[in-house]
A and B are shown apart, each in its own frame.
Chain A
Amino acid sequence: MPEFSIDRGRLFAILDDGQAAAAQSRGLNDEYEALREALHKLETGDLISRQTSRHNESAPQTARRIAATKAQMQRLQDRRAEAAEVINPKLALARRAREYAAARGLAEEVRGYVA
């Protein structure tokens, strides 16, 4: 079985692609977390206002905002699931490339990629 050498151009293209995929994944996760936090605040605010006299004035508006945030979260969740189909294989390939290159004496060069 022949032993192939490593094409560094290909290696770093794959690692960069993996890095970009990881960043995209982080971005989507951060966006989702922000929405989740916003929803939590809205729901907490709604709960508090139910116990005050202002509840009747603010209730419809808050309910609309909660519904809109939930819908946004659902859309984002769909986007995340869709993106995962592209992101995960790129990440997996980059990780395998990093490990292979590290084992072939390029540990320093590939350190920090798709960690």
Chain B
Amino acid sequence: MSPKPLSKRLADLRAAIAAAQADLAALPGRPLPAAEAVARFNQWADSQAQAFDARRQAAALCQPRADTTFSDLLSLTARDIRPHLSAADAGPLVCWLMGDTIKKKMAAEIEGLDLSDALPAASRGAELRRLTLELERLEIAEEVLIRQLEAAGEHVRRRDEARIDIVLAPDAELAGDTAAAA
């Protein structure tokens, strides 16, 4: 099979560069996997239930001189804790009352989402590095190819966002990097 002409290889490389750039741009918006999102929600629901502090309230109710009323116990506003908040905060009470039900329902919602491009939080740094290196490898290969085309007498327009440090790099350094990447 004959090798691809240089101009075709350049077009392929540029398509790969555009794809790598798109992957890189999409990385911060990629969702978490379902299990991780569920665990995150469960943790939040548990912290809410804990914030309700039922034990303290129950103990207060057992005091002979009751200064906690039932309406305080079931208050949604928590005005005593956060007086600046006018919105009702049902989280602590609801999570204390029926945390397991809420967790199950939210897990079902999360599992119903399309998370085919999900990426665990712990893998994001490594993925960012992988994509950055891949993009650099492609950009170096592109510049090497452009120089080959120029040497063959063809004029090639560089991409507007071509990395200037690569464009100005000596042949030997690019060749070394390409060899190292191969």
Contacts and interface: CB of A to CB of B under 8 A. Distances in A.
Q: How large is the interface on A (under 10, 10 to 19, 20 to 34, 35 or more residues)?
A: 10 to 19
B140 to A, nearest CB: 9
21 contacts: A1-B132, A2-B173, A3-B165, A4-B170, A4-B174, A6-B169, A7-B169, A7-B170, A10-B167, A10-B168, A14-B167, A89-B157, A89-B160, A92-B160, A93-B158, A93-B164, A93-B167, A96-B164, A100-B164, A100-B165, A101-B168
Interface in A1-53: 1-7, 10-11, 14
Given A1-B132, A89-B157, A100-B165, 12 more contacts: A2-B173, A3-B165, A4-B174, A5-B169, A6-B168, A6-B169, A7-B168, A7-B170, A10-B170, A93-B158, A96-B164, A100-B164
B10 to A, nearest CB: 16
Interface string A53-79: 000000000000000000000000000
Contacts of A93: 158, 162, 164, 167
A107 B42 CA distance: 57
A113 B171 CA distance: 24
Chain A interface main SS type: helix
B167 A1 contact: no
A96 B136 CA distance: 18
Contact of A1 (B136, B160, B168, B170): B136
Which applies to chain B's interface (DSSP): helix, strand, loop or mixed?
A: helix
A35 B177 CA distance: 52
B8 to A, nearest CB: 22
Interface of B: 132-133, 136, 157-158, 160, 162, 164-171, 173-174, 177
Interface centre among A3, A96, A100 (most CB of B within 10 A): A96
A68 to B, nearest CB: 34
A89 to B, nearest CB: 5
A4 B169 contact: yes
B168 A97 contact: yes
